[in-house]
Structure 1
Amino acid sequence: MVAQHSARQEEKRIPRRNRPVSPRYKWIALTNTTLGVLMATIDSSIVLISLPVIFKGIHIDPLAPGETGYFLWMLMGYMVVTATLLVTFGRISDMFGRVRFYNLGFLIFTIGSILLWLTPGTGNAGALELILFRFVQGIGGGFLLSNSAAIITDAFPEHQRGFALGINQIAAILGSVIGLILGGILSYFDWRLVFLVSVPVGIVGTIWAYTMLRETATPRKRQRIDWLGNITFAVGATVLLIGITYGIEPYGGSPTGWGNPLVLGALVLGVLLLAAFVWIELRVPDPMFRLDLFKIRMFAAGNASSFLASIARGGLQFMLIIWLQGIWLPLHGYDYEVAPLWAGIYMIPLMIGFLLMGPLSGWLSDRFGARPFSTLGMLIQALGFFLLTILPLNFDYTWFALILFMLGIGQGMFSSPNTSSIMGSVPREQRGVASGMRSTFQNSGSIVSIGIFFSLIILGLASSLPTTLLRGLTAAGVPASVADGIAHLPPTSALFAAFLGYNPMARLVSGKVLNSLPAADKANLLGHSFFPNLISLPFAVGLHSVFYLSAAMCLVAALASVLRGKQQLARPVELSEEKVEATIHATADAD
């Protein structure tokens, strides 16, 4: 008894983070990493809803000529930075400790949030500061997202891994919807609150992660950093994603920038650098990107289906926001000032569907394998996207909510089993880089999706919006010469106005012309229904193309999911009474 008491006293002198983990540690790891993912995804979507108020707060018009670049980088900069750094961060974490760099990510993200909250500048200077501080957040988010799944996979036994990763994936989707609602509420009071909200969470999460998380995997310190591979991948991916970003903007007389020599040059250079990156990775002794992991059928098929699914749904949130804020809510009498808040609220069925199915599918996949659930999830999403194409733009909300719920069910059924399948298929010592690779495919797919979706919408608008604008404005009493000039403006302005929940008529039609119109015509132009009715049919052309493409991507993702093969299922370990008693004593000692 004396020796046992002495041993316990000696163990208490050891710092908590260096003690052996207790059986309850897995729940600590799950809770903290879920908090990190929740915070990162809230901040990725909170800006979508808050952009009108943020730009108003720094006194900038994002629709003015030459200012759309600020709008695009506020929208996509965070995702570009995160997507290009995930694999590098995952690889470094495998070498020097996943928990160490996860903790660093929490700290960097919190610092970025504080800088955004305190942004001193206004005008273009303020917009640049916001973009740079979002980059800082993106670096922190890269550390969090590249390591959270690996830490959970290390902490949980195989027969509980799908459920745990399902909870983590729920946090990601939940955060994106919570961000929309929070952004609408907080921006109503002050745009700085949009960034302040993550500061206390970040501080608590940083301290909690530092004191409670442990390294349960052995870092591979003897390996060398693949500097050439890191540089070619980071530069190549960044240049490629920048090309996609600017491909959305108009160039010359074209509604999109895909014919811009700089965009084409960026795309070609990005592809060449990524090809050089693959060549390097096949020849260096300690590559950053473990291409040999793709020899694992389950890993390769899981990432292929994840990438295709991200292309299918990555731009969905943007399309739904445009649909709700720019068309449906104004047509139903909502003021433009409150449209962002209600857009977030009306998208809640998407969250509910995922919230119900995410943990359930993870739990079921632990017992029956990932393939049937991830495949069925993609088929359900394909059906949901098809149903969106036959829904009228001025819909009955009941049907819209049911389709969103279906999409949430499909996404929940796919995400956690697919993630569990990918992470469970790789060797333990390579889970950090595998997690980074998985997140890179997912985030890159989302950025590609946004570029493709916006381009399809813009092309759809360009085909019929000029004629529709000319007829609508002249019918509203605007002189033909003025209406013709407005009708030939780039359709990008109309798209961004719908996304931001603006009625651009007050800016496009000069005050002199507006004041010369009869009061009824002026009220019509500046009212809730004129602009939404004007863009509805042109917008529907591009929107239906987007949803058809998404349905097709989901079907191909379902095929890739089928090809992953059967999963070897683990059975819970049966413990003897002596082992149970020993575990109880170990738990008490560790705590």
Structure 2
Amino acid sequence: MSAGRKEYRMNTKPTNKQQNSSYAEGGGGRGIQYKWVALSNTTIAMFMAAVNGSILLISLPAIFNGININPLTSFQYLLWILMGYGVVTATLLLSFGRLSDMYGRVRLYNIGFAIFTAGSILLFFTPDTGDAGAIELIVFRLIQAVGAAFIFSNSAAILTDAFPPDERGKALGLNQVAAIAGQFIGLIIGGLLAVFNWRYVFLISVPFGVIGTIWAFLKLKETDCREKRPQKIDIWGNLVFIGGLTIFLIGITYALIPYGTSPMGWGSPFVIASLVAGFLLLVAFPFIEMKVEDPMFRMDLFRVRNFAFGNAAGFLSALARGGVMIILILLLQGIWLPLHGYSFESTPFWAGIYMLPLTIGFVVMGPISGILSDRYGARWLSTAGMVLVGISFLVLAVLPYDFDYLPFALALLIMGLGNGLFASPNSAAIMNSVGPGERGVASGMMATLMNSGFVLSMGMFFTIIVVELTDAFPPVLVSALTAANATSLIADMSVIPPTGALFAAFLGYNPVEMIIDGLSPALIANIAPATIATLTNTVWFPTTLAEAFMPSLGLSFYIGAGLSFVAAILCAMRGNKYIEELDNAPGKN
């Protein structure tokens, strides 16, 4: 532990009695209700950011139609709209967390709320269509991501400042329930609003953003938890970390885009150079942080067992579940829902409905686990949560593509309960393991690792699925066309790239209809109407896709299970309940 950190503790740590008295007054004499002001405002912010993140998954068909973009030929735009938000957020969280310890958490949180709202307004007024409109959407989403990084890096620290140690699990649990619930509510809201106008998808967050921003500026108060000695901005650390992570994640993103004749870009010189350069910078980063006077990434915090094992478990949990939502939506929209009579156009909305058990499980267990962790600690609660998540992955891995909904719903419910049992106890344990002057950087480190895990997870699972589809889809497609007496269409249908077929279904399109609509009337005249009807119904394409899709889906779920069980082991190794400001107070060993 650094000398500065020791000095901070010796000069500012209250005794247990003083600590409880301070929190009873709301912190700094601000009144007993302040903690609820902090909770409600940060909860609105987390909910808004989560809704905005998932609402696009359902409304992208309407958005692409609104700006006249063809989903079969615009995979790069789709990928950046989905992943660009996470890339920017992940790269900025750590820097913003450190800056908040230096210049004030509430101040930077308020700035983030305002930036996020401005990004939402810009998205609503997107002026152009076509490629220009898609690029504008991506840029405005990146502006939103900057605001979200301020919010995510400071929310947990603001709550930890406002709540006493024996209530932090409950507060963080409620905050995270709002975030998870927002992800699934966004799916439903997106399906409803997209029916009327795609711009309403972005307008929905503006009232929340305006009210929340004004409320935050008026009601949230800065705590005096900054270190008294002058501090320097870690210029080299910022440059190396932001540069390394940005370059590496951009490499991951472009690896998912076709390159030359290859369906993926892993062989692209740009991708290879990005991955190598980003990796080398990230490897150099911890060594730089151990040398600078005021590091943005506090390596000494990893000497605290709860902090180290909690963050490692959180990263693996994010890596396991980050791509799961999109994979499950692909399964529902591309295969299961059409097989059960739903039109391709309606599947985005119904996918959100059928995934509600996952939300219900988290909403039920999140607050309960937070309350229990305040009393008993996070060790066995978080361990049990990750075990449940691993079991749910195994159940999903063995289900057929035309599954009965009940076992699928039960698996989602178990996954939601497990994530709810893990998330808030783990976050509370991490935040309780650091002192008041380190909560900003700790919150930023925790959020950075989780967001990086989410982005890497999407890249990892997309790669597994696309590689398998590339090998399996063409022969399956030929076999299915032959069985449907449509051998004359083999040449035309073979132009469907596996990624295009998959994401057309994801966006609510039937790619077979899109191909047939583009054929010449002379060619269509030589095909029996019954054959055309077979190819364009809601059964033929999902069944064809399922044969190529399910092996990679099962592998993805097994990998998710393995990562969850490793995270469970790390949770069990975290040690007993520990609260830094109480256990390390003067007079305590």
Q: TM-score, normalised by structure 2?
A: 0.91
Query: Once the 2 structures are TM-superposed, how far is the Cα of residue 219 of structure 1 from its aligned partner?
Result: 2.9
RMSD over aligned CA atoms reads 1.8
2:587 maps to what in 1?
none
- 1:347 aligned to which of 335, 355, 361: 355
Query: How far does residue 18 in structure 1 lie from its aligned partner after superposition?
Result: 12
Checking the alignment, whether the CA contact within 8 Å between 2:435 and 2:580 is kept in structure 1 is no
Letter of the 2:178 partner, please give it: A
1:434 correspondence with 2:448: no
The alpha carbon displacement at 1:525 in A equals: 1.5
Label 1:570 to 1:89 Cα distance change in 2 as closer, same or farther (>3 A): closer
1:206-256: per-residue Cα shift (whole Å, max 9, x none)?
011110101124334721111121111111111100111111122234332
Residue-by-residue CA offset, 1:48-106 (whole Å, 9 max, x unaligned): 11111101100011211xx2111110111111110100001111111000000111111
Pick aligned residue for 1:372 from 380, 399, 421 = 380
Of 466-475 and 90-99, the range deviating more from structure 2? 466-475
2-structure distance, mates of 1:334, 1:28: 44
The answer to whether the 8 Å contact 1:325/1:343 transfers is yes
Name the amino acid aligned to 2:103: F
Contact 2:225/2:436, CA 8 A, preserved across alignment: no
Q: Distance in 2 between matches of 1:343 and 1:163?
A: 30
SS in 2 for 1:215: coil
Q: Is the 8 A contact 1:375 1:414 kept in 2?
A: yes
Using the alignment, how far apart are the partners of 2:142 and 2:580 within structure 1?
41
In the alignment, the residues of structure 2 paired with residue 458 and residue 522 of structure 1 have an alpha-carbon distance, to the nearest angstrom, of 28
Identity %: 53
Which runs of structure 2 are paired with 1:23-172 in the superposition (5 Å)? 23-64=32-73, 67-172=74-179
AA matched with 1:160 = E
Cα distance, 1:524 vs structure 2: 1.6
Instruction: Supply the AA of the counterpart residue of 1:526.
Output: T
- Give unmatched runs, 5+ long, in structure 1: 1-16, 573-591
- Matched with 1:586 is none
Inter-partner Cα distance in structure 2 for 1:471 and 1:541: 18
SS at match of 2:534: helix
Among candidates 534, 540, 550, match of residue 550 of structure 2 = 540
The aligned counterpart of 1:300 is 308
Provide the C-alpha distance between the structure 1 equivalents of 2:27 and 2:553, rounded to a whole number of angstroms.
54
Work out whether residues 433 and 580 of structure 2, in 8 Å CA contact, stay in contact via their aligned partners in 1. no
Other-structure match for 1:587:
none
Report the Cα distance in structure 1 between the residues aligned to 2:417 and 2:525, rounded to whole angstroms: 51
The 8 Å contact of residues 361 and 420 in structure 2, kept in 1 or not, is answered as yes
Whether contact under 8 Å (1:112, 1:136) holds in the other structure is yes
Structure 1 window deviating more from structure 2 (248-257 vs 226-235): it is: 248-257
Task: Say whether residues 1:494 and 2:501 are aligned partners.
Answer: yes
CA pair 328-18 structure 1, distance change in 2 beyond 3 A:
closer
* Correspondent of 1:219 among 217, 226, 238: 226
Is this contact kept in 2: 1:515–1:522, CA < 8 A?
no
* Partner SS state of residue 426, structure 1: coil
Q: Distance in 1 between matches of 2:163 and 2:525?
A: 68
1:255 and 1:284, CA in 2 relative to 1: closer, same or farther beyond 3 A?
Answer: same
Unaligned runs of 5+ in 2: 1-25, 583-589
Indicate the larger mover: 256-265 or 410-419.
256-265
User: What code does the residue aligned with 2:36 have?
Assistant: W
What is the rounded CA distance, in whole Å, between the counterparts of 2:323 and 2:352 in structure 1? 15
Instruction: Give the Cα separation in 1 of the matches to 2:28 and 2:368.
Output: 33
Paired with 1:308 and 1:31, the residues of 2 have a C-alpha distance of 29
TM-score by length of 1: 0.91
Say whether 1:410 aligns with 2:422.
no
Q: Aligned pair 1:208/2:215, yes or no?
A: yes
Q: Any residues of structure 2 matched to 1:253-402 within 5 Å, and which?
A: 253-402=261-410
| Letter in structure 1 aligned against 2:44 | L
In the alignment, what sits opposite 1:589? none
Equivalent in the alignment of 2:20 = none
Following superposition of structure 1 onto structure 2, how do residues 179-194 of structure 1 map, counting pairs within 5 Å? 179-194=186-201
The Cα of 1:19 is off from its aligned counterpart by 8.2
Change (3 A) 1:288 1:468: same
Give the distance between the partners of 1:175 and 1:310, measured in 2 at CA: 17
Q: 1:379 to 1:18 in 2, by over 3 A?
A: closer
